[in-house]
Amino acid sequence: MGPVWKLIRGVASCDRCGRAIEEYPAVGRVVDFVFHPEEKYCWDCYAYIKPLVDEVAPVSQDPYQPVTKPAIP
């Protein structure tokens, strides 16, 4: 699935400026209904890149996750 944004609560550091953050927007991918963050941003950095978010990946590269096992055995 393509890039997904999610608000995460927890202690981390911003991937852009290194500032400590407790609640932050993160971009990542969803695999098997589990979100895996790839990049985390503080609110100041997110406000800076927000106009560019729609340009990052306007169309998903692989819109469907391949089936690893059948739903009905």
Q: Is residue 30 part of a domain?
A: yes
Residue 58: per-residue pLDDT: 55
Q: Is residue 61 part of a domain?
A: no
Closest by Cα among 45, 20, 25, 43 to 35: 25
Ramachandran angles phi, psi of 49, nearest 5°: -95, -5
Residue 19: per-residue pLDDT: 92
Q: Is residue 65 part of a domain?
A: no
Is pTM beyond 0.75 here? no
**Are 5 and 53 contacting, i.e. CB atoms less than 8 angstroms apart?**
yes
Per the prediction, the chain carries an average pLDDT of 79
Residue range of the domain that includes 47: 4-56
Where is pLDDT greater, at 62 or 23? 23
Residue 40 and residue 17: Cα distance in Å, rounded?
Answer: 10
Q: Is residue 70 part of a domain?
A: no
Q: Is residue 69 part of a domain?
A: no
Region of poorest pLDDT, from 22-31, 51-60, 64-73: 51-60
Count: domains in the chain: 1
